Amino acid sequence: MSKIVAVTAGAKGVAHTHLAAEALSATAQALGHQIRVERHSAEGVEAPLQGAEIAAADVVVIAADLRIEDVRFVTKPVYRTSTARAVTQTAAVLAEALALTGEETPQMTTDTGQRPLKVVAITSCPTGIAHTFMATDALKKSAAARGWEIAVETQGSVGSQNALSAAQIQAADLVVIAADTHVDDSRFAGKKVYKTSVGAAVKGAAKVLDAALAEGVVLGTSLADTVDALKAQRAATRSGPYMHLLTGVSYMLPLVVAGGLLIALSFVFGIKAFEAEGTLPAALMAIGGGAAFKLMVPVLAGFIAYSIADRPGLTPGLIGGMLAVNLNAGFLGGIVAGFLAGYVARWLRDAIKLPRTLEGLKPVLILPLLSTAITGLVMVYVVGEPVAAILAAMTAFLQGLGTTNAVVLGLILGGMMAVDMGGPINKAAYTFAVGLLTSSTYAPMAAVMAAGMTPPLGLALATLVAKNRFTAEEREAGGAAAVLGLSFITEGAIPFAAKDPARVIPAIIVGSAITGALSMALGCLLVAPHGGIFVLAIPHAVTNLGLYALSIVVGTLVTTGLLIALKKPIPAEETART
């Protein structure tokens, strides 16, 4: 074992100084040597070497891109190199330095009786890309010096790169999140996780890994965590345009719900009360209809683009969505703008290659300017007018539907809400209805919400009136299903459908289809996009409230009746088993 003292000094800021220092420290320690590193940067000298340390040293390593006085090392063998080589070829640098003392450097080996520790990490800096990648390099170097396996996902200003796969996360022993921004950690449920800053990883990757081992905390695996993990797993199976569309819809929904409910609340004072300026109803309408609903399409477009191109897609997507609003292209125009902006931004991000020193210009200047200009010009001169005409024609058709056509549309939308209970088909029907709210078409929204409530409600009622067809566990879950159904959360039916899909799914599809058809046929309208039974208490939020409630009750009863008819009684010991 040798005693090494080192000096690192980068010519361009502090990053190279710290990266070289961490690489030398981690590798030397992994090889069994003692090392002390003095760091020189524009901020001054950090951790200066003491005379006693220099006197006891076997060799001096100077990794510097500028002149470092070596008078104090005159009695010691001195090895000079650059900071870049100290970072990229650390083991070779140490071997060559130690050769000056006549000592050979042992090769690092992994104990064949113990597999190397597997680490996954995320690095993320909000102000640019440099620190993100510096932290990544430092963590990789330090982990490699220990013989650990590491995979690092970067989330910089140019978006996410080298995304961690489900298999990598599953196999990981340790998760390190070095980020100065919010990072969603739901996918790491059940794993030992350590969180720190990007700066800590850049300046002391070895210390970060040590702290991660000692102080990492296993993320909770409560029921809520399990549900989140299942949703994340379901989302992970989505891909392509559908995934991008649902991402946009998920970010848009809070605006839709908040705006719709505020509009509904303005009706409490009278259906036309908002027309009186300076009143509370007028203020509620201004917030809900004048602000929230106007942001719906830009946010939809912005986050479709974000899903495709990550952060570079957000700016052109938001602006493209606003152009869709201004051009009267509505939600259809927003969808087109989102996909256009996303693919343009992603192509520009991948096609434009700049030196590492200029990479910081891409996310703040080059990509926003070029992608916004291209998206905006295409929206104004190519897309806007045709899509606006299509939306106007579709709105006129829906608002002029006769009873027969309305029933058919209700049957289709209602059935779609129950087919996969929150899956792609369900979301397609819901997105269609929500999009029509921007053009003051409210009947499909009423049909969709009513149809989405009946599957859990029908199952809950069936567990009460036909107990011999459900296990004790299912009967207990019936109460929760009722609450979810009343709240318009169709996913409450999933546990029942998963156990007996051949009987449950046909029953809930028929019940939902009948509910949707009745709602449309009875002329029910709904101005709020969510809320379930709680919205019904808001005056004027639902047109034909009594008939609307009737359509939900009828669909629930049909669902329950079909479940009783299709499901067979189960053995008595299973109904009693807990």
Could you give the residue numbers annotated as active site?
A: 125
Which one-letter amino acid corresponds to residue 233?
Answer: Q
For 164-292, list the strands marked E by DSSP.
174-179, 192-196, 217-218
Task: Tell how far CA 50 is from the center of its chain.
Answer: 49
State residue 34 phi and psi, 5-degree precision: -95, 140
Residue 8, beta-bridge partner list: 39, 63
Q: Give the tokens for residue 302.
A: 């912005």
**Cα–Cα distance, 560 to 575 (Å, whole number):** 18
- Per-residue exposure over 538-560, b if at least 16 CB sit within 10 Å of its own CB, e if not: bebbbbebeebebbbebbbbbbb
Q: For Cα atoms 38, 39, 41, give the angle at the middle one, nearest 5 degrees.
A: 155
**Cα–Cα distance, 560 to 462 (Å, whole number):** 5
Q: Give the tokens for residue 456.
A: 């859990």
**Cα–Cα distance, 162 to 153 (Å, whole number):** 5
**Cα–Cα distance, 357 to 200 (Å, whole number):** 22
Contact 309, 346 (CB under 8 A): yes
Compute how many other C-beta atoms are within 10 angstroms of the C-beta atom of residue 411: 22
**Cα–Cα distance, 101 to 164 (Å, whole number):** 43
First to last CA, the chain: 64
Task: Give the list of residues 6+ apart from residue 279 with CB closer than 8 angstroms, or none.
Answer: 269, 273
Task: Give the list of residues 6+ apart from residue 457 with CB closer than 8 angstroms, or none.
Answer: 481, 482, 485, 486, 552, 556, 559
**Cα–Cα distance, 174 to 457 (Å, whole number):** 43
Contact 397, 443 (CB under 8 A): no
State residue 80 phi and psi, 5-degree precision: -110, 145
Q: Checking DSSP bridges between strand 192-196 and strand 217-218, what pairing results, if any? A: antiparallel
